Every structure is written in structure tokens, then in C-alpha cells.
Amino acid sequence: MNVQQTVAKMVVNAVPILPSLNFSETRNFYVGALGFEEVGFDGLDYLVVRRGGMELHFWLSDDPLLCQNSSVFFRAEAPSELYREFCDRGIEAIRPSENLETCADTVRFHIRDPHGNLLLFGAVI
């Protein structure tokens, strides 16, 4: 007979650290266009932005390929509301064609920041 051990539930927060080619452009996009707030910037090699439960850290890079090959996935309780808000802000948010007719709670979409980092948004499972 198998005996299952009780495992204490751990809270784990993962915070992505993405590359940025230019902190000023990154800050302007995330703060000005997406509605994040700047919560940390040392001026040399690190930037932190946050919006609600979404937090991103950035390090300064000179390699565009790193940005073009980096991504993060955000889970949201109402991704359709984020989608509408970003579109209203003039952000090009892409929804896959098979996703257009689905329930609002299962909307998935993505955005690329000015340097190519991919931001994916979907529903909480």
C-alpha cells in the first residue's frame, strides 16, 4: 500500500529577468504604454517594473538576439480585459485566429516590446 506524505504547500514567486537594449526605451514602453510603474532603477545595469502581480526585471544587454529569443508568460484572471486595455492604449496585441471565437476567460494574446521580448498573456488555470 502506498502511503502519501503530506507536503507543506510552498509559495514560490518567479520573476523573469529579461534583456534590454536601452533602459530608457524599455521604461518608456512598460511604464508609458503598458501602465507598469518603475520600482527600481540603479541607472547602470538593472531596471524593475511592476503592475499588480506582474513584475519584470531587466538587465542591460548589447545583443538584440537575446531580446528576440526571450519571453515571459503571464496568467491573468481576466486576460480579455488586459487585451482590450492594451489595444485601447494603442498597443499591437496579437491574438491567434483560433482564439478569436473562444470564451473571454480563455483569451490568449501576445505583445513584443521595442527590443523584441515576447510577452504572452493567458487565463489562470
Residues 96-112 pLDDT 10s: 755 545 555 567 999 99
> Model confidence over 24-80: pLDDT tens digits?
999 999 999 999 999 987 767 899 999 999 999 999 999 999 999 999 999 998 898
pLDDT digit string (tens) for 10-22?
A: 887 889 999 999 9
Domains of the chain: 17-123 (3.10.180.10)
Given CA atoms 99, 100, 104, 107 in this order, what sign does their dihedral have?
positive
CA distances from 79 to 13, 49, 51, 106, 125 (A): 20, 19, 14, 7, 12
Total Cβ atoms within 10 A of residue 16: 16
Tell me the residue ranges of DSSP E strands in 52-117.
54-60, 71-76, 109-112
DSSP run (H or E) holding 121: strand 118-123
Strand partners, 49: 38, 56
